[in-house]
Structure 1
Amino acid sequence: MCTSIFTKTMDGKYLLSRTMDFSFPLDPSPIYMPRNYTWTSQAENVTNENQYGFVGAGRLLGSSYFVADGVNEKGLSIAELYLPGEVQYQKEAEAGKVNLAPHELILLLLGNCATIEEVAQKIETINLVDLKVPMLNIVTPLHWIITDETGRCVIIEPTEKELSIKENPIGVMTNSPCFEWHVQNLRNYLNVRPKQYEPAKFGEFTALPFSQGTGTMGLPGGYTPPERFVRAAFFKEHIDQAQDEAAGVTNNYHILATVRIPKGIVVTDEGTQDYSQYVGTMCNQTRSYYFNHYENNQIAKVTITKELLESDVPIELAADRNETFKELN
């Protein structure tokens, strides 16, 4: 599952937001991954060293860190989402390539790329191998939405052996089918609009609208990827543009509220609940990461500071899981 949106504020801030919808309890926290962090790839047991520090959401799984999204010190932001039934990973490592498990790609890109141009060059050298995530014991069918400080937004969908980037002019991504299908599906919703529909005559009878909101009749209301894509694209397109970063984060939370999945609403074939475990937002300009758990609507914030950049070990920054209230009396 998962939904991601990319927005711009009036004062030039770029914000990438995502819901993390999953049935396995990931138990993630905001985490800072340091410069010069070394990690060993599963595919060929090779040690990699990152150049850049970044902050995002993740956790330690076994002896390796799992990161699902983040922004690095150069203003590159990435979020990984599911693309089941579409991805094509390779069965074995390939000589002359950087061989990675799919869930390791985000760690490599955030740790070593400053721009989308550098990402495009880097992925030419990468071979994604069909390997399971430690502890989860599943191969994660992933695709990635990527933005940088220039405001460019692209995606990577590993549906062929060679990886490449696709431009994302809509600034929305969900799950299967592939991105091009979702783009064409928007043509089914040309009638949906914020403006109220006018009264219509049927013979001698004039039908008046039921209150407000008739322009939004036709918006899909379910939680399938196509429905979430359409809702996210519509709300992103028509919401009042935010003036600054704080308002932009608030806007993105309002947009994603239309696609966040409460517990009990989506149940898998195995009987587990697929729900929105957290929402994360990255600001490319300020290198800030915003986060809240399912259980707490209070938004936590972590910014890449000089002090963080001086750390040489990963730092987990716990966000409160308990709902907080501002007492007014």
Structure 2
Amino acid sequence: MCTSIFIATKDNKHLLARTMDFSYPLGASPLYIPRNHTWSSDSDHKSWQNSLGFLGTGEQLEDNYFVSDGVNEAGISVAELYLPGEVVYQKEIDPAKLNFRPHEFIMWILGNVHSLDELKKQLETINLVNQPVPELGFITPLHWIITDANGRSVVIEPTETTLHFKENPVNVMTNTPTLEWHIQNLRNYLNVQPMQFAPVEFGDYEAQAFSQGTGTSGLPGGYTPPERFVRAAFFKEKIDEAANEDEGVMNALNILETVSIPKGIVVKQTGEEDYSQFISIMCNESQTLYYKDYASNGITKVSMTEELLNQTDVKIFSVDRTPVYKKAN
């Protein structure tokens, strides 16, 4: 599960935000992967050296780092989400291509891609191999939303041998089905609006609303991917536009709160609880990452400073996972 949105502010800042909905305890934190960071793909054990530094959300798993989202110094931000039942990975490595296990693809994008056009040109050279995350023991069925500082948003979905590069006119992504299905499904919600419905006459009786909010009565309320997609698309489209980055962060949090999953509400047949472990927000212009943990109302902020860019080692930032209160007396 997971929901992502891409929003703009009046002063032309662009922010990619996402919930991380998962049952397996991730223990993720904000981290910085430096320029020239060397890592090895578990698919063919080839060594890679990133050319770009980036901020992300993730954790160290043995010798490598597992990253779920991030923003690089070129202003490219990415979030990976689940697409179960739809993905098609390749059974074997291809010596003529760049081979990655699915969860490694985001590391390559953030560490090496300067623009969406560059990414599109290189997609045909990518081979995603049907192999699990070694430390987790399962294959992650992923798709990716990638955005830039020009306000462009695309989705990559591996549903055939060739990776599909899709322009995303709605700037929202959730999970299965594929992006095209979700976009077409929005046609079922043309009646949803912020404006209150007018009274309606039934004979001599004029029925008036009990209270405000009748225009939103058609919004779906569950946590399936289609329902979350519709809610996120509606709130993103109708919320008052943020003036600047700070307001944009608050807008993103307020939108994603409408799709965030509390513990105990979505339970698998195995008894495991899917819940929104964290929300992360990336600004493409300032190259800043904002992290909000499930356990706290506080926000951890990390920016791409010159000092950070000159660092040669991976840096993991600590997160205070306790509630934050401002005492008034």
Which TM-score bucket, shorter chain as reference?
over 0.9
Indicate the residue corresponding to 2:101 in structure 1: 101
**Residue identity opposite 2:150 in structure 1:** T
Whether contact under 8 Å (1:132, 1:140) holds in the other structure is yes
How far does residue 199 in structure 1 lie from its aligned partner after superposition?
0.6
Cα deviation, residue 95, structure 1? 2.0
- Deviation, 1:206, is 1.1
Name the counterpart of 2:151: 151
CA contact (8 A) 1:62 1:134 kept: no
Number of residue-to-residue matches in the alignment: 329
Query: Does the residue aligned with 2:143 lie in a helix, a strand or coil?
Result: strand
Q: Which residue pairs with 2:83 in the alignment?
A: 83
Question: 2-side partners of 1:30 and 1:169: how far apart?
Answer: 29
What amino acid is aligned across from residue 192 of structure 2 in structure 1?
V
Aligned AA for 2:243? Q
**Do structure 1's residue 171 and structure 2's residue 171 form an aligned pair?**
yes
Report the Cα offset of residue 61 of structure 1. 1.1
Contiguous gaps of at least 5 residues in structure 2: none
TM-score under structure 2 length normalisation: 0.99
Work out whether 1:191 is the aligned partner of 2:191.
Answer: yes
> Could you tell me the percent identity over the aligned residues?
57
Map residues 40-189 of structure 1 onto 2, 5 A cutoff: 40-189=40-189
Aligned partner of residue 326 in structure 2, secondary structure: coil
Q: Which runs of structure 2 are paired with 1:1-329 in the superposition (5 Å)?
A: 1-329=1-329
Query: Deviation of residue 327 (structure 1)?
Result: 1.1
The answer to whether the 8 Å contact 1:147/1:153 transfers is: yes
**Partner-residue secondary structure (3-state), 1:124:** helix
AA aligned to 1:94 is: D
> If the length of structure 1 is used for normalisation, what is the TM-score?
0.99
For residue 298 of structure 1, report the CA deviation from its aligned partner. 0.8
- Letter of the structure 2 residue corresponding to residue 140 of structure 1: T
Q: CA deviation at 1:299?
A: 1.0
Structure 1 consecutive aligned stretches of length 4 or more whose deviation exceeds 6 Å: none
Aligned-pair distance for 1:16? Answer: 0.3
Distance 1:306 1:206 in 2: 65
* Letter in structure 1 aligned against 2:218: G
Superposed CA offset, 1:54-98 (max 9, x none)? 001000112210000000011000000000000000011012011
User: What are structure 1's unaligned runs of at least 5 residues?
Assistant: none
Q: Within 1, Cα distance between the matches of 2:327 and 2:238?
A: 34
* Distance across 2 between alignment mates of 1:149 and 1:279: 21
* Partner Cα distance (1:176, 1:57) in 2: 23
- CA distance in 2 between counterparts of 1:213 and 1:149 reads 35
1:108: Cα distance to partner? 0.2
The separation in 1 between residues aligned to 2:169 and 2:280, in whole angstroms, is 21
Counterpart AA for 2:284: N
Q: Which amino acid is the alignment partner of residue 199 of structure 2?
A: P
| Per-residue CA distance 1:241-288 (angstroms, 9 max, x = gap) | 000000000001000000000000000121011000000000000000
Q: Secondary structure at the match of 1:226?
A: helix
Q: Distance in 1 between matches of 2:284 and 2:124?
A: 24
